[in-house]
Amino acid sequence: MKVPTTATTPAAQRPFTTISGVPIEPLYGPEQLPDLDPSRDLGAPGQFPYTRGIHETMYRGKLWTMRQFSGFATPEETNRRYHYLLAQGQTGLSVAFDLPTLMGYDADHMLAEGEVGKCGVAISSLADMETLFRGIPLADVTTSMTINSPAAVLWAMYLAVAEQQGVDWARLSGTIQNDILKEYIAQKEYIFPPRPSMRLVTDTIEFSARHTPRFNPISISGYHIREAGSTAVQELAFTLRDGIEYVEWALARGLAVDQFAPRLSFFFNAHSDFFEEIAKYRAARKIWAHVMRDRFGAKDDRSLKLRFHAQTAGCSLTWQQPYNNIVRTSIQAMAAVLGGCQSLHTNSLDEAYALPSEHAVTIALRTQQVIAHESGVTAAADPLGGSYFLERLTLDTEAAAMAYIRQIDEMGGMIAAIEQNFPQREIANASYEYQKAVERGDKIIVGVNAFQSDREEGVEILQIDRAAQDHQAKKLAALRDTRDNGRVRAVLDALKRTAEGTENTMPFILDAVRAYATLGEICDALRGVFGSYQETSLV
Amino acid sequence: MSAPIRVLVAKPGLDGHDRGAKIIARALRDAGMEVIYTGLRQTPEMIVNAALQEDVQVIGLSILSGAHNAIVPRVLELLREKDMADVKVIVGGIIPDEDAAELKRQGVAAVFQPGASLEGIVDFIRSSVAA
């Protein structure tokens, strides 16, 4: 492999492109922006088309929510981590579930072997959810849950815990990810085929519009699309087109656009290419405002404002020289803030190895606090607005994303595009091109293909042992012995009948959860009606 | 000219992160190998059966979920049971050093951790199959 070990590659010989491969000119000035109309394309912060941010005063009014994604091993251990994070000044919770939970399997299922508690916390029943939030008043925190295929079930468990705490659902604030389309496109944690999955998502959006006015029933996510290797433009375009798909399904359900659109939220990656990322967030807001106003006729300003969570890029973290990851994360977090995010997760330095240790996650949280309170970037709204370079990138990003959105419209929408493997293929191609650029040394990754070092940098690694799996399996066995199994059968039968029809499934999922039917049992009932999804693997 | 090397690239376990597996599959194909990609969520039994049917010389397992200590030894065990111990097993993904050493002790030919180069993986497969 021909790669520089010092910074000796002559600047003129390296192609100057963004990390997504977009060519960059050596200098930008007014002559590069003949098509920019500031009042039309930018507006003021808080004004249509919201390119410069959704609030007039941005972070002067309210800082972003510092929300560290966290979950590991048992609900008992994760509950302790949540109490620690809240004590450190974190302002919102964000639940990471393990793979069996994400796939709708109980911790004692055969396919859960070796996976329980590894990538997040294991939650198999309402009893586990009660433990997860023990001592945390749900009226006073906002909670984000990264759960997709079985999102309705985990959300029902959260609502049931709120009931037990005596908290009115109308006061609950938080987000479920619930974005199934990006699962087929990128993250691949799907259970049911696309259409029944979309029906479940629409059930939650409808239920939320009626019962949980402060809860976001979906977080339409580009994060995983980017982690799967897409370009910035693909991340933006596929995410917004997914959003359009959800809006169309909710309208077809009979909801009015302004009844649910204000609660649609988004989630983007914060990758390493600083200006490309900021341009992406600005273009996202502008496109969404136009889509909601012009395509769907939304009238409520809140329906037009794209609110987003950002997470720094997990795929940019290196195993080599892990302390450099703190620096990468700081730059990425700064891009998210300058791009106007509403909440932010900063990755920990050890996440190329494992889930983060308490020490590493504290540094990651402190990174956000330093940006918020020391860097000065929060004083003025959209401080980079008007930069020739950034405005050119923003317009180009918008145009490229719109071309993809039109292409998917012509294919018949996102489900049709997914069935034709279109977004999957685009991402795989982009990811392979990037990897080849790294192999050639056209793209430098410090510590990996340049500036390598033999010095070992030990990091403390969080180990999840088998005890978590045994502990969870034992609790499940006890639960199945002590609950009213006749009632469980009755609520599961009722759920199956509802799934076969067209009525909203949420009230029936809630009944099942309250009866301590397990996640696996509920998902099995739905698998029986909806079937399971297998993708056509392509390389 | 000898026949191309045949490789099965597999994603065992519940982990859906297939970016690495797909890149490896393409890189091996571009290097002239015949590559069969299993797709997601394969059990050790499914992987070994596919390896037998496809008559591969190499199995590449991609695991990023931390479940490698439960999955890889089972694949090795099934290969021995089916008299296929000559099939080289390589593992890629998030595998801590101590686990990598243990997997190699049990019979894994190589473990490629994050940051490994495609060229290095291609070279390793060529030399280990030739040997």
Tell me the average pLDDT across A277-282: 98
pLDDT digits (tens, 9 = 90+) for A26-66: 999 999 999 999 999 999 999 999 999 999 999 999 999 99
Per-residue pLDDT band for A2 (boundaries 50, 70, 90) equals very low
Tell me the average pLDDT across B50-60: 97
Q: Among partner residues A115, A354, A464, which is closest to B13 by beta-carbon distance?
A: A115
Q: Among partner residues A100, A461, A464, which is closest to B14 by beta-carbon distance?
A: A100
Inform me whether the pLDDT recorded for B67 exceeds 90: no
pLDDT digits (tens, 9 = 90+) for A354-410: 889 989 999 999 999 999 999 999 999 999 999 999 999 999 999 999 999 999 999
pLDDT digits (tens, 9 = 90+) for A416-462: 999 999 999 999 999 999 999 999 999 999 999 999 998 777 788 88
**Which residue of A lies nearest to B116 if distances are taken between CA atoms?**
A448
Instruction: Write out the E strands in A271-326.
Output: 308-312
Do A449 and B117 lie within an 8 Å CB cutoff? yes
Residues of A with CB under 8 A from a CB of B: 1, 99-100, 102-103, 105, 111-115, 118-119, 183, 187-189, 227-229, 315, 318-320, 352-354, 428, 431-432, 435-436, 439, 445, 448-449, 461, 464, 534-535, 537, 539
Give the A:B interface size as CB pairs under 8 Å.
Answer: 101
Buried b (16+ CB within 10 A) or exposed e, B1-30: eeeebbbbbbbbbbbbbbbbbbbbbbbbbe
pLDDT score recorded for residue A5: 44
Percent of chain A with pLDDT over 90: 89
Instruction: Write out the E strands in A230-369.
Output: 264-270, 308-312, 343-345
Do A535 and B19 lie within an 8 Å CB cutoff? no
pLDDT score recorded for residue A309: 97
pLDDT score recorded for residue A358: 87
Inform me whether the pLDDT recorded for A539 exceeds 90: no
Interface pTM (ipTM) of the complex?
A: 0.93
Q: Which residues in chain B have their CB less than 8 angstroms from residue A228's CB?
A: 17-19
**Which residue of B lies nearest to A320 if distances are taken between CA atoms?**
B115
What ranges do the domains of chain B cover? 6-130
Q: Whole-angstrom Cα distance, residue A110 to residue B112?
A: 28
pLDDT score recorded for residue A461: 80
Per-residue pLDDT band for A13 (boundaries 50, 70, 90) equals low
Q: Whole-angstrom Cα distance, residue B131 to residue A120?
A: 42
pLDDT score recorded for residue B109: 98
**Which residue of B lies nearest to A120 if distances are taken between CA atoms?**
B65
pLDDT digits (tens, 9 = 90+) for A186-197: 999 999 999 999
pLDDT digits (tens, 9 = 90+) for A138-164: 999 999 999 999 999 999 999 999 999
pLDDT score recorded for residue B95: 94
Statement: A11-62+177-440 belongs to CATH 3.40.50.720: no
Reading the block at residue B32, the tokens are 């002239």
Our measurement of the distance from residue B51's CA atom to the centroid of its chain's CA atoms, rounded to an integer in Å, reads 10
**Distance to chain A for B1, nearest Cα, Å:** 25
**Distance to chain B for A364, nearest Cα, Å:** 21
The CA-atom distances, in angstroms, between A44 and each of A51, A88, A336 are 8, 35, 19
pTM score, whole prediction: 0.95
Q: Which residues in chain B have their CB less than 8 angstroms from residue A229's CB?
A: 19, 23
């966290």: which residue's tokens?
A: A70
Do B118 and A439 lie within an 8 Å CB cutoff? yes
Name the architecture of domain B6-130: 3-Layer(aba) Sandwich (3.40)
Inform me whether the pLDDT recorded for A22 exceeds 80: yes
Q: Which of A5, A101, A187, A188 to mutate to test the interface with B (most CBs of B within 10 A)?
A: A188
Q: How does the average pLDDT of chain A come out, rounded?
A: 95
Tell me the average pLDDT across A103-107: 98
Percent of chain A with pLDDT over 70: 97
Is the link from the previous residue into A49 a cis peptide, with omega within 30 of 0? yes
Note whether B94 contacts A: Cβ–Cβ < 8 A. yes
The CA-atom distances, in angstroms, between A63 and each of A145, A271, A330 are 21, 21, 17
Better-scored residue on pLDDT, A259 or A465: A259
